[in-house]
Structure 1
């Protein structure tokens, strides 16, 4: 529900009801008025304008270390993997517990710029979205009716000089799903192997936003992590080998950044507080030793 080709010849948008519309992102407001809303995603995060929020504590990840079996599918606009609801997140400034639904990716062309969110105008090669809904809901449609019903964790990718072997199951499976509706079983994987280590997940940005394709529901608590995931150029290029419904190369699967419209973007502050505390203690000990 959140990937679109807006650079190729036949853009395809997935609606929540499963229907497709041949529209470019700039025309989405004609198809669904919510896409012209005031809290749309993605956005460009201007770091100097973010506010530190002490409530943005480290997340508690439950089930992220556990391996699970699933299927990866070319749904005509992205590569998507269904997730067991036993994977949950809490804390991190979230109002309640959220359970995993699926993850999918957004990319550019053969490893070129392709992330949805940008940082100070910089666009990364790819972006991972792990989609969660409040644990009280049984389906995503119901969760989208709640202003805080969905929580998405966003991760950037960066180009590495070496292969990321933890991604072998995903990269290898892409060869079997080039065509739309192609799907194949994945060997057992865990969410933890796909994202940075937990110690690197304390620094992130937070804002209220939306799905990034129609219906563009403004029901998403967005968390965008600072630490990128390394992939080699060949690994990144593998995603561009997938095909849209018309058989053309699947590339440029991201929505342009949307206006902030006065929204405040926050950043987690725990890591900064810890480093300042350590610095203060070091200074005190230094003074004591001198005296």
Structure 2
């Protein structure tokens, strides 16, 4: 009888501690704070069990080059704005004036920026949501856009292609990225959940690589990476990472979840592709072709011969 009681008791405790209530990241879960960790997000929203979920691991050798994936046109990305940065309990988010738009890049229409937010690890450790050939970067930024004719994100998400998200990876740099000073300095004022503060003037362009370095990217169709996991997103993942110093990356880990625990590990694990194809832009091949063309011309003209 005692042999039966112990397993039953352990099973009961396991059931009690396997998640209930709201969704959370794995780093938030304790028996004192029961919540639905990523593997159980479908309990919070059934769409999280869909077949086109994000993020994913991009296996570069399995990507297909798509000549339609031309360079983007970034309009009003240089515009300076005064935004509000918020600790929403799961990430930090900044609202963006809808004047900044993207076209080209194989998108079906013009999309206008709505907000950007970030996902990170623990004190500069692995923390990006998407991975490239299994590599997880320290952090990832998502600039969320919606089709230009929609007035709110909720309506846009009812359209299978209503949302376009630009994903940017970060890498550790030996020196601080001063373009990020407005963001990093503001984080110290919003350590607790629902805290918000005004940003010093900033532009989207200063936060991302120069436009000429944004021609190499991956494309696939997926979902939001938090509940409700709506499958209405055209994803673009840029190859060139953004540099931040380790000190700058660590400031993000000083933020707090609503229960006061450090806000770390704010990423959803990669999801199955389920037969989806990931495409890559044709830019690298164009660049190689241009280089070969120049070399051929130089050789023909005898410019490659030593003087």
Bin of the TM-score, shorter chain as denominator length: over 0.9
Partner of 2:47 in structure 1? 34
Asked if 2 retains the 8 angstrom alpha-carbon contact of 1:4 and 1:213, the reply is: no
**What is the TM-score normalised by the length of structure 2?**
0.88
* Range that drifts further, 233-242 or 31-40: 31-40
Alignment of 1:79-90 (within 5 A): 79-90=92-103
Gaps of 5+ in 1: 12-20
Partner of 1:6 in structure 2? 26
- Distance in 1 of aligned mates of 2:44 and 2:200: 39
Partner of 1:276 in structure 2? 289
Considering fraction of residues, name the structure with more helix. 2
RMSD of equivalent CA atoms: 1.7
- Give 1:153 shift: 0.3
Structure with the greater relative contact order (CA < 8 A, sep ≥ 6): 1 or 2?
1
**SS across alignment from 1:106:** strand
- Give 1:267 shift: 0.5
Asked if 2 retains the 8 angstrom alpha-carbon contact of 1:133 and 1:151, the reply is: yes
Q: 2:161 aligns with which of 133, 142, 148?
A: 148
Asked if 2 retains the 8 angstrom alpha-carbon contact of 1:32 and 1:214, the reply is: yes
Q: 1:160 aligns with which of 162, 166, 173?
A: 173
Q: How many residues align?
A: 279
1:34-93 deviation per Cα after TM superposition (whole angstroms, max 9, x unaligned): 111110000000001111111000000011001001110100111100000001100000
Asked if 2 retains the 8 angstrom alpha-carbon contact of 1:5 and 1:250, the reply is: no
Asked if 2 retains the 8 angstrom alpha-carbon contact of 1:10 and 1:246, the reply is: no
Partner of 1:192 in structure 2? 205
User: Of the two, which has the highest radius of gyration?
Assistant: 2
Partner of 2:126 in structure 1? 113
Q: 1:250 aligns with which of 259, 263, 266?
A: 263
